[in-house]
Structure 1
């Protein structure tokens, strides 16, 4: 697949490795990857979308070929939102764009999708397996009060979040993961063989833990009211082992325009069902392109 590459410098002097795909006269679409992935996780989906969109992907800080911050606080949501701004300003200037994101890419993108400065800049947002942490905190508080069974069910899905707070153990575990070992994990989760390999999995897993350590405790203990500035589409994965569909139920409260679609898939549907994911992203974006 052909791609143009460039480096973008962030506000705090990190370097982000950016790729663009397709013709820049098409509507712009930014794809933000999750954890423990890098931008290569989107390639099967890009194949489906590059004829219709000018696609921008990037390795988020600490992943892929982008630079690795020295401090945990450098992974804060506010800084990740500034990273998105740095990328789109460098590549698109002041053009509006559509946004789609998976897992931690989705969690961090909510910070931008609920920022007033992105109003009219972000045309649509397709979120996959990554709720806004503020919204999730409010939802879990309500669950604890009214549906304790659902609350504890979500806690069992989120065991890894507590583990990732451990400063030495969590990063060390990733040293034992080779690309082939990680591929076997995904194969079992997605019930599908021969999924693309992440050749950088040990480093992506090790350094990306900073995302959890910088953000979960502050946001879950002190949630903010965050309202979306663009239309939202939640692509819900019905067999997701890590994100409870109940957390998606909170989203309509925070978005004036909200759409929910469901896929019979586990967490890495971006790899196992790229055609379906791409079709939902394309259809939703095109519905919100006409005025621009």
Structure 2
């Protein structure tokens, strides 16, 4: 970044934003020639930020990476805006409005912005993140899924799930463990040990897009919360819990898979489709105003240098 004129005021903001991930290669920006074939959510955020009139380029630092096709009800990022000398910093409300005005993709929306200290980091300051995965049963073929639900859930070719067994299996995942068995290659990490604070399976409200003749269609959610996750850990854990729900695994076998630390086994190497996964929220502590501290989610402990990923 270039240097700013003397007397110009720099302000750092924490921004919460959401997106439907279907059209994107992920949240991370795509640089160079690859922009011709793929684009990330961050690209559009940065292009909107460029129109804020900052005297230095605005870099958007995203809290939580998500893969291609994964959605976010609420992700977070920080950015610095340095206005011309004599111009006061944007209020958080004005910044959020301006970003939404300049966003050119309809599948992205800025939810809220907050002023934060100049050394605040959206990734490393997050205290918790949560993910939600949506499942659907009662749909024999993908083309029978309501078009408004496609790319927003995993349509299972079954009429029922053993949810009680799934809930029992999820209990084996709670706590602090070596989650190597649920890690995909591609994101080196110093340690595979994570603490899973919450893992639950529950019925989801009926889809408002299902017609009366589609009464057999039912939805379920799987939710996880932790300080941080290994690469594709959420989608691998979901796939294993679905295998339990279908009767292919027992809850006790899930415990054995976890303890095996083997990521190449028959069931733990399966990855649930990206389309059903939502980053639900990101939580921060110790910020004035309380709102960021109440944003729930799957996260990274303060001071940690690992990038969380579902």
With normalisation by structure 2, the TM-score equals: 0.26
Higher helix residue share: 1
Larger Rg: 2
